[in-house]
Structure 1
């Protein structure tokens, strides 16, 4: 096919590397960090993303059968609002981000070269190629360099970029024995969720409304229902990150020979648990359109036409759900919980009829 440069070696970037390799490209993956890897947190991989990974030959991302107590949505005192079984949707595979990253990079073959410790500071393109830092040339560049993408900024200097959602997130991995199906607990301006990973540990996350840049601890959750306090106490390292998403409307995912992918294209809040999955699906779509026999311009245009509308909807839905989850108004919280409970009962009745 040709040569490609992928900027960024997170989940989206390495999946793009495998995808391009599978359709015949020689690929160079550039990563700013000194070594490949991912942060110590969990990730939900929904069936659509699992299907893409299977198509790319990635092995090991499969559903494991773990019998435990019911999962669903609760109040801080532990009372159930709605069970996941009542809602009737298939739950995702839960896996450690580093483990998923390793499974994907294990598929790198001779066609993929990785350069770590490489900071991209200049990107230029002509009608025939793309140049990075004045030294690396390729036919195609895929920007998978995250929410604060240097490539996106160079392409669209007028774009507003990331916006703060109004809440921060705490994340951790707890190694303890629990007979609990997990789920989410929604309070007033705070949320806590946890799920069993396929290796048996538990991934948990909490969110709280606060000004951007505030360093804090997840102490608000110490008085919430079991096993939330135990999960926090059993965690060696708690990560904290302010949650941002990208300003709408999103910029085109294609400009010339450059394609945006993952958070560089459509960073969203984590409320739907779809961010990394959307990046994986981007890579699958990129492979499909570049393997269709069309020229590069036509393939990238088709990629943008498919993925930008789809991910715009996800950004909007995730943002709306985040606002609902983080509301501090007690009346709205009561109405919210009541509607979720009613919706679960209605869904259960429909399935039985």
Structure 2
């Protein structure tokens, strides 16, 4: 796959070893654009698959965590492929349109997912294909994104995961990011027409924004990324995917026993939290760095970003036993769990968690 044509926009700075723009000269301003206006984010490095065929929905229903059997035309969802032991192997964002099921997934994971799907076809009438070379994802993000879509003459899906057809491709509404005000619309369009669609939206008033801005608001919203905020031990119960990508009342699928058992017990081994880091170092910790309480490893960080209001923040999977007021460290930086991520049974410790976050942020100011 070639680099994106949107890298020709003024100020574009390419992601390190990537194919899209990390930013267009001012990542913090671009974050504010997504939080307060509308920005166009090039996410054309995501892999795209299609599954046509008469048996596609019942087949996907049987091999993923989501209830796909009665997915209506013009509807979308999220779904997981799990290992037999319930560990997350793939995360899919799905759209059903015109007799074809579409799925876009993390960059570089499409071939492995296609291999799994091919192995599971048996004699069913399904034809999974990897179509990344021909199709690409753009995201229009921000409180005024609906107005920008309408101004460009494009349909505006009204509900989360609703899908509206374009002349080629579709628009899908996703859950908001940031503090909940930044609406997200994913546009899956022909790769050959990527520049034209971008010009249409920019002409309607959207501003270009890089993946750094999108990632900062995604982290704020605690929306995980497969392979970054998850590892080989991750089960859906540890992340918000239990509510967005898992149907707890559907029939049998691979890994269901683990999901159901942990759900019924009500205590997964780890939980996803937002960490505040002191931000003193110019180098951000890499995904997978251990989270330490003293000398004891109590978790791992995933996405680490610089946020325009919150400073350096990260998503981390930490053990359930970690008290929100615990002094933590990541790659030499002091860290604290956001008080909003205090488990319900520890609600009386929120004050300690707030004090710890204030101490971490004051260290940054000094």
* TM-score in terms of structure 1 length: 0.23
Bigger relative contact order, structure 1 or 2 (CA pairs below 8 A, ≥6 apart): 1
Instruction: Answer 1 or 2: which has greater helix percent.
Output: 1
* TM-score in terms of structure 2 length: 0.23
Instruction: Answer 1 or 2: which has greater strand percent.
Output: 2
